[in-house]
Amino acid sequence: MILCAISFLLLSLLHSSTALVTHAKALLYGATNETDRGLQKYFGAIEFYQVSDQHVVVNGTIAGLTPGDHGFHVHVYGAYGKACAEAGPHFNPDKVNHGGPNDSERHVGDLGNIHAGGDGSVLIDIKDSKVSLNGRNSAVGRAVVVHAKPDDLGKGGAPDSKSTGAAGARLACGIIGIVEENDERNAALTSFASPLPIFISTFSTLVPVLFSYYTL
């Protein structure tokens, strides 16, 4: 009962109808068992913008990838331990098969592929109608993950095609935290030294985990 009460309180604070989330951000670090962020490889930052009730825009720049396509998904838990394995499976509240971003049946977290050029960099510009920053499909407090291989969008013959798109290992991940607009502390999101990312990461990690218990 105490756990349920805590989870309800956190969810109420996070998704209050009087304070809709319009901007969130994730800093991507390499999948490793190293717990010191300062020793982890930094890949880039991903921004999420709620531009309407129906659409979220995802943009950002990633560097250091191998050239080619890489699966790009929102995973259910806001955690990056055990080489990003603690992020869990794709965010899939509808309990349906994996698919591509334009498919009628797909995970909420299915954002398809990103393409790294010859220099290993990616400029991300995605507009999606399934994922949100508010309500049931909210990505806030979850993790965004870049995979080693292309996502087959659920259309391949591999055993895990309908669950992961056979996208392979997790290369990098980051916890999606709320950005408060017009707040000077936003600058701290790009700094290792600031306590703000630690607070956001810790708070964001608790919410989906507690929510999973609350909905059992």
Q: Is 170 a catalytic residue?
A: yes
Q: Is 115 a catalytic residue?
A: no
* Residue appearing with tokens 């669950």: 163
Cα dist from 97 to 20, 70, 93, 108, 131, whole Å: 29, 19, 11, 10, 16
Q: What is the pLDDT of residue 16?
A: 46
Among 70, 106, 142, 170, the active-site one is 170
**CA-only gyration radius of the chain, Å:** 16
Among 98, 106, 151, 152, the active-site one is 98
Q: What is the pLDDT of residue 183?
A: 53
Q: Is 136 a catalytic residue?
A: no
Q: Which helix (H) or strand (E) holds 212?
A: helix 195-214
Which tens digit of pLDDT belongs to each residue from 28-54? 999 988 767 667 899 999 999 999 999
Among 75, 106, 142, 152, the active-site one is 75
Q: Is 107 a catalytic residue?
A: yes
Among 70, 142, 147, 152, the active-site one is 147
Q: Is the pLDDT of residue 128 over 50?
A: yes
Cα dist from 192 to 32, 40, 42, 64, 213, whole Å: 17, 11, 11, 19, 31
Q: What is the pLDDT of residue 40?
A: 85
Let me know: does 111 contact 74? Beta carbons within 8 Å. yes
Q: Is 110 a catalytic residue?
A: yes
All residues at 6 or more sequence positions from 19 whose CB lies less than 8 Å from its CB, including other chains: none
Among 15, 69, 70, 90, the active-site one is 90
Which tens digit of pLDDT belongs to each residue from 156-207? 999 999 999 999 999 999 999 999 876 544 433 433 333 343 344 444 444 4
Among 69, 110, 128, 152, the active-site one is 110
Among 15, 70, 106, 107, the active-site one is 107
pLDDT band at 215 (very low <50, low <70, confident <90, very high): very low
Domains of the chain: 21-184+196-214 (2.60.40.200)
Q: Is 125 a catalytic residue?
A: no
